[in-house]
Structure 1
Amino acid sequence: MTLRQFEYLVTVVDEGSFTRAAELLHVTQPALSHQIRALERTVGTPLLDRLPRTVRLTPAGRAWVPHARAALAEARRARTAARRAADLEGGELRLATLYSFTLGGLLPPVLRRWRAEHPDVRVDLIEHRHADELRESMARGDADLAIGPDPVNWAGYREVLGVEEFVVVLPPDFAHDGPIDLCALKETGWVHYATTNGLAEVLDNACRTRGFQPRVAVRTEQTAAAPVLAAAGLGPALVPRGVLPDVFDGTVLRPDPPVRRTLVAYAHRAPDPLTAAFVALLAGAGWDA
């Protein structure tokens, strides 16, 4: 079996079609089918069910594909490491993070400085809505480095970057001085997040510690939409401080007690020199916000 066969299998699965996979891989469909069948002979069992209009994984295929993806990711990392060790021009740095980090003021300034110092290194961003998705992505080896909330029971490399502060956003005419106890808003309908957005869990946990479950006035999938909806009067929103622009038409209050989460950079193993240089830039960026 070969990495090319792994790539062919994964592409067929992702495209749901031998025809589309062959076009994407720039091979003929008979050649693609031949390689998949050769892989199945090596494994000793069919990996795909060929249906009239699509293909689907057999139980053996469902067990096999995660290993194929991991092998392809490891090969990609090995190729990148070799290029870096040889000090070739260019190369790439694959970063996995959350949408809220690229939307707000946390990650873009670091990327801007990195680009100025390493103009020939391409950065590929893999963005996720939920911290659990980010952790699963890194467990598959999808990126060189993850930047996000502290992952539970992570056995690999981990570097603490700082603490992310959350604030409560309310309409501009909301009259309140100083920090606000979330209990003061327990009878109010909140701007909540869809369950696909990890901030839904942050809000639920913050309110739970204050003894109530937030009532939902409206749900949004987009982190950037929550403060806009809150400022428009649809209900309070709990948002990362970093996603708010410097000029914002809304009342912004710190919760009391504070709502925070630890931010880290993490990976399977200690970073190579190029990734380590990016981590050093991250660590010096003042992530406490």
Structure 2
Amino acid sequence: MVSLRQLEYLVTIAEQGSFTRAAESLHVTQPALSHQVRILERSVGGPLLERLPRSVRLTPAGRAMLPYARATLADAHRARCVARQASGLEQGELRLATVYSVGLGVLPPVLRRWRQEHREIQIGMSEHRHGDELLAAMTEGAADLAVGPAPRAWSGPTWQLGLEEFVVVLPGDDPLGAEGVLRVDLRALAERNWVDYAAGNGLADVLHQACAEAGFVPRAAIRTEQTAAAPILAAAGLGPTLAPANIIPAGFDGLVLRPDPPVRRALTAYTRPNPDPISEAFLQTLRETARPVPSALVDLFGPMAD
């Protein structure tokens, strides 16, 4: 059975001329993209793409299928537009609440796709320091949908988005980098001074819990209110820190290592007990697009669910 996603992948590869560029454009990993293309090729009975050393091109079957794939995607887009108009999704506002780290690392590609498909809907996004503040915002009715750590107690619907992976950040010239290691036991960093998070930031809880499980209390060289500042300060040499892998920017010049054992946090979306059509539509986009672990880290460390 051919899916719309597989057709979208085929069209994007044809337009980009490369699996790598297509994967980046679609915000998926290259192995996942290749897997779906192989399934599509099996379903149609033959190869659709010819893999060349530095590019990719359509086979005769691929060239024959491409215009129909584009037409099918266009029809699906028109069908969504008609449905949104009937459901009141062509106008309105979504009140979205999240925590700082998720607003930095997980939501941007989700919001990008949402904006492409729902340009008339305004989004008001509030960001919170801690999961408890996020839950309070939902409890008080200040938001329609929350994305962040699993709430302690919530009477409405909840959905698991996956596990957020944390990494240790050090300066690029740290001796551990010279050893070529990809993983580090936090106990090896127990005597160092750390880049910590200020009280009230939920990531302080994650860092302190991980260190406690390793048998020590981290000494703070500096505490920052800003989630995005922690890896930058660590890369500058102020001390190691623990940060969500998804907030590490492309081209980051620090040393990024995976804690051993891994440090993870479950990410959850939750809505009001009777979500409106806009919230339900955003939730669908979120579940299809959100990537708690960035593909670059999967390529570096391998699968992170072990």
Same fold (TM over 0.5): yes
Matched residue, 1:14: none
Of 216-225 and 150-159, more deviation after overlay is shown by 150-159
Deviations 1:30-65 (A, max 9, x none): xxxxxxxxxxxxxxxxxxxxxxxxxxxxxxxxxxxx
Matched, 1:181 2:182: no
Identity %: 58
1:113-262 matches, within 5 Å, as 113-176=113-176, 177-262=181-266
Matched residue, 1:111: 111
SS of structure 1 residue aligned to 2:163: strand
User: How far apart, in 1, do the equivalents of 2:91 and 2:155 lie?
Assistant: 31
TM-score by length of 1: 0.68
Q: Residue 226 and residue 88 in structure 1: after superposition, are their counterparts in 2 closer, same or farther (change >3 A)?
A: closer
Matched residue, 1:66: none
SS of structure 1 residue aligned to 2:199: coil
Any gaps of 5 or more consecutive residues in structure 1? 1-83
SS of structure 1 residue aligned to 2:101: helix
Of 140-149 and 168-177, more deviation after overlay is shown by 168-177
User: How far apart, in 2, do the equivalents of 1:182 and 1:285 lie?
Assistant: 32
Q: Residue 209 and residue 143 in structure 1: after superposition, are their counterparts in 2 closer, same or farther (change >3 A)?
A: same
Q: 1:207 is matched by which residue type in structure 2?
A: C
1:168 touches 1:255 (CA, 8 Å); kept in 2?
yes
User: How far apart, in 1, do the equivalents of 2:218 and 2:89 lie?
Assistant: 53
1:96 touches 1:134 (CA, 8 Å); kept in 2?
yes
* Structure 1 residue ranges (4+ consecutive) displaced by more than 2 angstroms after TM superposition: 84-89, 270-273
1:167 touches 1:241 (CA, 8 Å); kept in 2?
yes
SS of structure 1 residue aligned to 2:174: coil
1:163 touches 1:287 (CA, 8 Å); kept in 2?
no
Shift of 1:273: 2.2
Matched residue, 1:279: 283
Matched residue, 1:97: 98
TM-score by length of 2: 0.65
Q: 2:142 is matched by which residue type in structure 1?
A: D
User: How far apart, in 2, do the equivalents of 1:121 and 1:101 lie?
Assistant: 21
User: How far apart, in 2, do the equivalents of 1:236 and 1:110 lie?
Assistant: 30
1:144 touches 1:275 (CA, 8 Å); kept in 2?
yes
2:109 touches 2:290 (CA, 8 Å); kept in 1?
no
Shift of 1:85: 8.0
Q: Which has the larger radius of gyration?
A: 1
User: How far apart, in 2, do the equivalents of 1:287 and 1:205 lie?
Assistant: 24
Q: 2:190 is matched by which residue type in structure 1?
A: K
Shift of 1:251: 0.2
User: How far apart, in 2, do the equivalents of 1:139 and 1:184 lie?
Assistant: 41
